[in-house]
Amino acid sequence: MKPKILRTDAELFIIEQYLDELSAIAEVATTERTDEDGLAEAARDATLILTCYTAITAKVIDSAPKLKGIVKYGVGTDNIDIAAATRRGVMVTNCPDYGSDTVADHAFALLIALARKIPGLDRAMREHAWVWPAPRYLGVDLAGKTIGLVGLGRIGRAMARRAHGFGMTRLVSDPYVDPATVAEYGVHFVGLDELLSGADFVSLHCVLTPETRGLIGEAALARMKPTAFLIDVSRGAIVDEAALVRALDAGRIAGAAFDVFADEPLEPGYPLLGRDNVILTPHLAWYTEEAFQRVERDTLAGVRDILAGKRPKNLKNVDVRD
């Protein structure tokens, strides 16, 4: 009997071109269930779970006695209970290398769009065909400004390279990176408070952990300059969205741009929609033709390794028992 691969998040169409190839070595079943009970039922006879955004909880993992691995077609694994997987001897792997430059491109595009008020200009042009200089359209230069990078992993480093090309001073807050190992980037390591108070643009590139959940809240936003902008392409829950709304309403920061949100997808009436100083994109910073091809290839490699009984290249729970 072939092993079973349970695939979630099929609306992303990832791995679609390889379904025939996978079907030759496994039974591939796609579920639309995202609730814990429904997913646990669907996973009962699964050997491998292939997922992106859907929460793979301890209950789901424990419901699947044959489960050998969970493959995330993406980077962040905060939606997977890795402790539960490790306890069960289930390997968890992801695709960390496919989109670092891609996501950094998007983050920097958001930064430029905020600085030059491009969304407001575009809306005005669509409505009036032309606009003349007015204070509400006055942008800011990037050269000479300071960017604060919260996190200096793959994407944070890609952002540092881009900011250097625009003549920006680069501050970094990341307690898990040894400054000596990234000396070639020419960044300045500071504490988070100093970064927040000194940056003209704060760009979030840390992973979501209990430590970083709500990291940018009332106190952090109060430390930012009233002329500063906040960009988040990492995880929405790093920012206290209610506190951000209050800060924007009070003019305590100049604007924000987000590709990620604490609860996705957004619903009509979301409080950050419709603001001229806020840019929102639907968690698609990774979504380019080239990155899509890379994540498919990396996903396929992880699936093949686990089904073959090998340890995958990007094993997250390295202490999982054999």
Q: What pLDDT sits at residue 224? A: 98
Among the listed residues 21, 32, 211, 264, the single catalytic one is 264
322: confidence class by pLDDT, cuts 50, 70, 90: low
Gap between the Cα atoms of 217 and 13, Å rounded: 35
Cβ atoms of 119 and 127 closer than 8 Å: no
Structure tokens at 252: 């305590």
Three-class DSSP category at 157: helix
pLDDT 10s digits, 257-311: 999 999 999 999 999 999 999 999 999 999 999 999 999 999 999 999 999 999 9
264 is catalytic: yes
pLDDT 10s digits, 32-89: 999 999 999 999 999 999 999 999 999 999 999 999 999 999 999 999 999 999 999 9
pLDDT 10s digits, 113-169: 999 999 999 999 999 999 999 999 999 999 999 999 999 999 999 999 999 999 999
Identify the CA nearest to 174 among candidates 198, 197, 199, 156. Answer: 156
321 is catalytic: no
Q: What is the mean pLDDT of residues 166-181?
A: 97
pTM: 0.92
pLDDT(321) > 80: no
Q: What pLDDT sits at residue 1? A: 84
Three-class DSSP category at 50: strand
pLDDT, the chain, mean: 96
Among the listed residues 157, 205, 235, 252, the single catalytic one is 235
The DSSP result for 91-124, as a single string, is EEE--TTSSHHHHHHHHHHHHHHHHTTHHHHHHH
Among the listed residues 223, 252, 283, 296, the single catalytic one is 283
Question: What domains are defined for the chain?
Answer: 4-98+290-307 (3.40.50.720), 100-280 (3.40.50.720)
88 is catalytic: no
201-204 vs 27-30, strand pairing mode: unpaired
